[in-house]
Amino acid sequence: MLFVLDELREAVLLVFANKQDLPNAMAVSDLTDKLGLQSLRSRVWHVQATCATQGTGLYEGLDWLSNELSKR
User: Residues annotated in the binding site, as ranges?
Assistant: 18-21
Q: Which residues pair with 48 in a beta bridge?
A: 16
Residue 31, phi then psi, degrees to nearest 5: -65, -40
Show binding-site residues for GTP. Answer: 18-21
Say how far apart CA 9 and CA 19 lie, in whole Å: 30
Say how far apart CA 69 and CA 25 lie, in whole Å: 29
